[in-house]
Amino acid sequence: MRLAVALFVIWAFPVAAETLLAARTLRAQTILTPDDLTVATGTVPGTATDLAEVIGLETRVAIYQGRPIRPADLGPPAIVERNQIVVLSYVAGPLTIIAEARALGRGGPGDSIRVMNTASRTTVSGIVAADGSVRVMGDR
């Protein structure tokens, strides 16, 4: 009976990690393009490393030139602006109520913003939908 012995050699090469940095000072509400970013070798914990994941996102805060890009400082581009008239829908089971409202903040899809119903002057919080409407969900 012959035993087959396999010898595995593992080579340890340092992995070149990258961190995304701001190529220039980016104001809040800037939509990121490849020209706005630069890549640096090395990693900084909690920062973005993939260019494809941040292109097209909007900065939520000012990011100064040479600073690392943190995913927490980015979000989807706003599709609802402050003072914009939006469709407000309230959904509770089979009941749906549609009204006109004024946005009291700005936000992108999935963001929670406050809106004021223009007829009743009632202020509520809702979630921005992909079509730009704001949805308030009732208790189930």
Residue-wise pLDDT for 71-108, tens only, equals: 999 988 999 999 999 999 998 889 999 999 999 999 99
Asked whether residue 105 is domain-assigned, the answer is yes
> Are residues 24 and 63 located together in one domain of the fold?
yes
Radius of gyration of the chain (CA): 23
Residues 106 and 124 placed together within one structural domain of the fold: yes
- Separation CA 24–CA 65 (nearest Å): 4
DSSP string, the chain: -----------------EEEEESS-B-TTPBP-GGGEEEEES--TTS---HHHHTT-EESS-B-TTPBPPGGGEEPPPSB-TT-EEEEEEEETTEEEEEEEEESS-B-TT-EEEEEETTT--EEEEEE-TTS-EEEEPP-
Sorted by sequence, the CB contacts under 8 Å of residue 5 that are 6+ apart come out as none
Q: Please count the other Cβ atoms lying within 10 Å of the Cβ belonging to residue 12.
A: 5
Domain ranges, residue 93: 85-137
43 — pLDDT class (breaks 50, 70, 90): confident
Residue 116 lies in a domain: yes
Q: Verify that 61 and 90 share a domain, yes or no.
A: no
- The residue assigned the tokens 């490393």 is 49
Residue 140: predicted pLDDT: 47
What pLDDT is attached to residue 66?
Answer: 93
Q: In Å, how far are 69, 108, 135 from 76, measured between CA atoms?
A: 15, 5, 17
* Domain membership flag for residue 111: yes
What is the model's pTM?
0.68
